[in-house]
Amino acid sequence: MRTVEWHDGVVRMIDQRLLPHRFEVAEFSEYQEVARAIKEMYVRGAPAIGAAAGFGLALAALQSPATTVPALVEDLKAAYDVLYAARPTAVNLRWALDRLMHLVYSLETEDVDAVRQALVAEAQRIADEDVEINKRMAQHGAELVPANARILHHCNTGALATVDWGTALGVIRMAHEQGKNIHVWVDETRPRLQGARLTAWELMQWGVPMTLIADNAAGYLMSSGQVDLVLVGADRIAANGDVANKIGTYKLAAVAKDNNVPFYVVAPTSTIDLQTPGGDAIPIEERDPREITHVGDELIAPEGVRVYNPAFDITPARLVTAIVTEYGVVRPPYEENLRAVVEQAEEDRKKANR
């Protein structure tokens, strides 16, 4: 199944908190539950979060007792705020919510049920588009991967981080299917271990040769000539090319630069936020201290220790070799070239809706 999907008026998600040991699907019939699932990381990865939020807003429309369109809009505004607050760093969440709200405002109808059905259809369209976009990115990104490449990957960017297929891991999957004889170094990705739990599991399902490493081993691997390129995803890309991604990404980019290793970010145009000029304007989510002090239910730190647990960091654009989008590989100057691909995506979407 897809990571997140609509099924008979409920939102279904693979509960990623349980992988790799248990595969379970959770179902949610209220938008508040979807918001909680996003916050508690049943679902994660910027594109998957965006799709989940879209379905959440569609649920809000079905939940609403409104009998007029203006009343429905007020209920949708309240649901928007709840869903957006779940994980504000990932811009795909806001992008999906805005897309659905813009649709509501553009509909010239007084039929409240027609608005509800239009929202469900648009949320489904966002999910379907994500799969196609990921495959296009994979094709473009695989062109950057040489034969016999040794690739370093951080966090999880596979099918589990999207609706299906994946971003950076989608590139890896494509390169593997093209017979390029690649090998992947998988960062464990503390504190939630998305690399160890999810990326390793996905690569093993696909039969991609891989080795799991501690996060702190990545610098040694690069300095000793055992990495040919770094591939990561993104939760938000600012207009100037600064990248917000899973904590630890900046450190990898700096070490890659020091060792002349190409550092590639793979992300759809929906992750590019032209409203945010630079990385210093991106909100950084701080998560539960238990993610640092515990492994599972086991306390590994002194009781009462002070904890700082930012979920993301900012990689400056100067450290990013290129950004792979569904419209191809974007290189500096980012401010100009990112705007061009976003405008192209918006124009293509308008044409498709005509």
Specify whether 98 is catalytic: no
The Cβ-side half-sphere exposure at 99, using a 13 Å CA radius, reads 27
CA-wise closest residue to 237 among 138, 139, 344, 95: 95
DSSP string, 111-155: -HHHHHHHHHHHHHHHHHHHHHHHHHHHHHHHTT--TT-EEEE-S
Three-state secondary structure call for residue 6: strand
Q: How far apart are CA 224 and CA 152, in angstroms?
A: 13
Residue pointed to by tokens 């991604």 = 245
Q: How far apart are CA 128 and CA 121, in angstroms?
A: 10
Q: How far apart are CA 142 and CA 121, in angstroms?
A: 32
Please pick, among 130, 235, 242, 273, the residue that the annotation labels catalytic.
235
Q: How far apart are CA 59 and CA 50, in angstroms?
A: 14
Q: How far apart are CA 153 and CA 252, in angstroms?
A: 10
Please say whether the beta carbons of 183 and 221 come within 8 A: no
The Cβ-side half-sphere exposure at 313, using a 13 Å CA radius, reads 15
Phi and psi dihedrals of 264, rounded to 5? -110, 135
Active site residues: 235
